[in-house]
Chains A and B, each alone.
Chain A
């Protein structure tokens, strides 16, 4: 159950676009279209931003989008806003019927 690999940090200026990658294996990310992304502001409950690789829950801005190629999933955020500054985590269902998180990426809006 090794954690999925995410960059420790990314940054961008307001209005710009950024992408966060999430790399796993064929036993998790590559084997299932069950990748999710969460936004987490410290001290608050995490918020689901993307599920099933590329679907947005109701109420989530269309500035957030998800995709997957092989064993790597990606979260893209366009038109960066100050309130997007948070920690972002990917997860995937695994062949062991468990869930694995990525190590998390700190997004800084400059």
Chain B
């Protein structure tokens, strides 16, 4: 059974940093691209970042480029999102999502339950 479990959310001040993690199990982790998707309060889903199965290719939404860094450890089956220079508009539930393929995103077939990040002073 595929399981994705996010952790690391919490309250952080504007300008601060936070690192989210996603522990994956139930599938060959290195064979699939992974993404982070977020949902701000009362808003829709927004794709944040993706990483290929090998970790060699990374992609970012314009809204987080230069501030967030996605990474993965295929030996530990974990996906991370390092978030720096956080802003109030980064407040959201962050979901870890497994892609159906290794590279080009063709649909997220499994999702975690999400972790809440609140950026506020």
Residues of A whose CB lies within 8 Å of any CB of B are 1, 3, 32, 34, 36, 38, 40, 44-48, 51-52, 57, 87, 89, 91, 93, 96-104
Contacts and interface: CB of A to CB of B under 8 A. Distances in A.
Chain B CB within 10 Å, residue with most, of A32, A52, A101? A101
B61 A1 contact: yes
Given A93-B105, A98-B60, 19 more contacts: A1-B63, A34-B107, A36-B108, A45-B112, A46-B97, A46-B111, A48-B108, A51-B109, A89-B44, A89-B45, A91-B47, A91-B108, A96-B59, A98-B47, A98-B59, A100-B47, A101-B46, A101-B47, A102-B44
A99 B100 contact: no
Contact of B106 (A36, A38, A44, A46): A36
B71 to A, nearest CB: 17
Nearest to B63: A1
Interface of B: 35, 37, 44-47, 50, 57, 59-63, 95, 97, 100, 104-109, 111-114
Chain B CB within 10 Å, residue with most, of A40, A98, A104? A98
Contacts of B50: 98-99
A98 B111 CA distance: 18
A101 B105 contact: no
Contact of A38 (B45, B46, B100, B104): B45
Given A1-B62, A93-B104, A97-B59, A48 B44 contact: no
Contacts of A102: 44
A34 B113 contact: no
